[in-house]
Amino acid sequence: MDTQPIDPRFSGKPFYGKGRAKLRRFVFFTGVLLVNLAAVLWMADLFFRSGFHRAHVLLLIIFAILNGLLVLGSFHALFGALDIITGRKRSVRISRLAEGAPDHLEKRYAVVMPVYNEDSAKFCARIEAIYRSIETTGQLDKFDFFLLSDTRDLDLWVLEEVAWTNLCRRLKGFGKIYYRRRKVNENRKAGNIGDFVRTWGGGYEGMLVLDADSLMDGSDIVKMAKVMEAYPRLGILQTPPKLIRGVSVFTRLQQFAMRLYGPLFIRGLNFWQLGGGSYWGHNAMIRVKPFSEFCELPALPGREPFGGRILSHDFVEAALMVSEGWEVWLAWDIEGTYEEAPPTLVDHLKRDRRWCQGNLQHFWLIFARKLPLTVRIHLFMGIMAYLGSPLWFLFLIFGTWVAWDFHVSDLTPLPFDSFAERTFGIAGQWQGMILIGFVFTLLFLPKILALAGAMLVPRLRRAFGGFFPLLVGGMMETIVSMLLAPCMMLAHTLMVLSIITGHAVGWGNQSRETDGTAWADALRFHLAPTLLGIAWTVLALQIGWVFTLWMSPILLGLILCIPVSVWTSRSKYGRALARKNILATPEETSPPEILNLAIQAEASVHVALNAQMPHREGVIAAVVDPYVNSVHISLLENSDMGGVDESLANRCLKNGPGALSKSDLSQLLYTMPAMLMMHRAVWLGAMEDLHPIWIKAVESYRMRPGE
């Protein structure tokens, strides 16, 4: 009699029992609700005491939402701190399964890096570093590497092919490192990964998904694979990447904050989500088979921005995995996982525009059937990461309205008896101060806990540059983040309004390096918040100095957003801070080996096989240079050259590549006989039949380097 194979989702003992998981979630979220409820009732009592105003109900509703988010964040930090204090052995740690696993992996795994209009030398350097790092573990035979290009820039396409070829030659990686460029980049990154899964995924147990700026230590990658083999219920294993290589003040502030405060939030998040976690799109190991079966993303009803293809696909893929009974875990103790960040506030907000639209699309899914509670909470937190800003803005607007009404009415609020006064004998002004103190405690509690923890532990204190640099860095990060917050609030508010009014976002490549934001660009980008800040300040002064003082952090942040944006974008100031160890991180004071490998990596660059020489770059090199042309055509499918292709090739030779549209030039680059014909023509054809750009390219071979 045939027996059906046991579904791995239901085989063996769960890593963490359902009953204990429910208890943890009950304790965590009941605490959040009770603390938030107490604060809301306290504010309602304060409003009752000062007399009813039409805006009070709206203020109370918005406060309940915003303060709930604030309490949620503080509880993550608080429970994270408690988890750290109780010790590593008592923490829930999925990666401990690797400690008893066999030394050698049994299954095969793919390291997958999607790229889109990126610097090929840099992402190939990261692949080289990861390749060499895994090689030192003795497990390289179990891993293959895939560069999955969706690059639309034709010159960058050629550079990618050349860099990949050099990389494989130097590492002896042919048959281990693969390159593919999609003709049609449908559905962005999700479609790119989906194409890999459909085409090659069947040969692998799991795939490590990276971004173009990702870097991961080889031993940690092997550990993740061991966990996947040891625990058949595991669908996705996410790691918390650290930010590295920040040069500008903005990126140094980001990586310092994430490195100092991040562990608290990560441990607190792991406390309640356990096997119902989320996927952040990169630096994660995914089991291929269930991902292929359950994570195909349908288009949402309607048109973009709320309909169409899902932009924030990672949260949804994790939601589908968990809803089908697979577990998604956060490996909080995986240390060797890194990424880079946008270098300026402007670049950060441009990236946020895409994330904002993707997260707001989750409104379609948050109330869907079959989704577990943890999934709904993750989707809700992702949505509120952007909706919180317009709610905060409305709270400030309504607060200003109330203050203005009391100012123009010139009336003294009626002294109603309040619960706080009757029960505790608290005067009106003290009741308000207690609420303000409570909110500020919630706001700064994570920073205080993290800073105190780092200062009290000698190893951490030294890793962050020492006592004084750590203290100065913490103070600077707090002040600058307070100045940046109002600008980001307004930017997110405008993003949400833009999406609601039907303006969808495009798909651009992420800026990772820049020499700073120009004053003209900052003025254009931040003019609206600056003008709003000036107008709001004038109105606040009309109301009174007490209200102006209360609003001063918001008003200063809006008025100063242009100079703050420019100053934080400058690399020279970031380097000056680095020389003093201010905003230093452990990865700066003691660089990990994988980072050193990436810095030293140069296998993708070669003097002979090069598509960046003067007069023969990119597409020009693919036609003229014998080596580059050979590499390019070796990656094409064999095809015949039709009349249209021949006509395009002749026009390109006579009038130059600039005479062709991008789609026509792309068609030529995909046609093997056309590329061969053009190569022969520029070397053997009559010069009077060629455009000067080809003649210059051929003549450049007679020049010495530097001429």
> What integer pLDDT is reported at residue 357 of this predicted model?
87
Q: Which of 225, 213, 267 is nearest to 87 (CA)?
A: 267
Give the model confidence (pLDDT) of 115-139 as tens digits.
Answer: 999 999 999 999 999 999 999 999 9
Give the model confidence (pLDDT) of 481-524 as tens digits.
Answer: 999 999 999 999 999 999 888 776 555 555 555 568 999 999 99
Average pLDDT over the chain, rounded to an integer: 90
pLDDT: which is higher, 432 or 334 = 334
Average pLDDT over residues 566-583: 95
Give the model confidence (pLDDT) of 649-675 as tens digits.
Answer: 999 999 999 999 999 999 999 999 999
**pLDDT above 60: residue 474:** yes
Distance CA 37, CA 508 (A): 42
Distance CA 627, CA 608 (A): 8
> What integer pLDDT is reported at residue 572 of this predicted model?
94
Q: Which of 105, 92, 89, 83 is nearest to 15 (CA)?
A: 92
Distance CA 142, CA 157 (A): 29
**pLDDT above 60: residue 638:** yes
How many Å separate Cα 440 from the centre of its chain?
Answer: 28
Average pLDDT over residues 249-261: 96
Give the model confidence (pLDDT) of 519-531 as tens digits.
Answer: 999 999 999 999 9
- Here the contacts of 307-311 (C-beta below 8 Å, separation 24 or greater) are 307/361, 308/504, 309/187, 309/188, 309/190, 309/191, 310/190, 310/358, 310/361, 311/188, 311/354, 311/355, 311/357, 311/358, 311/361, 311/505
> What integer pLDDT is reported at residue 689 of this predicted model?
87
Domain ranges of the chain: 612-702
> What integer pLDDT is reported at residue 244 of this predicted model?
95
CB of 316 within 8 A of CB of 338? no
Q: Which of 270, 373, 381 is nearest to 323 (CA)?
A: 373
Q: How confident is the model at residue 367 (pLDDT cuts 50, 70, 90)?
A: confident
Q: Residue count of the chain, please give it.
A: 707
Average pLDDT over residues 330-359: 92
Specify which residues 109 forms β-bridges with: 143, 206
> What integer pLDDT is reported at residue 512 of this predicted model?
52
**Percent of the chain scoring above 90 in pLDDT:** 76
Average pLDDT over residues 221-231: 96
Q: Which of 356-370, 426-440, 584-598, 608-622 has the lowest mean pLDDT?
A: 426-440
CB of 205 within 8 A of CB of 288? yes
Backbone angles phi, psi at 219, to 5 degrees: -65, -35
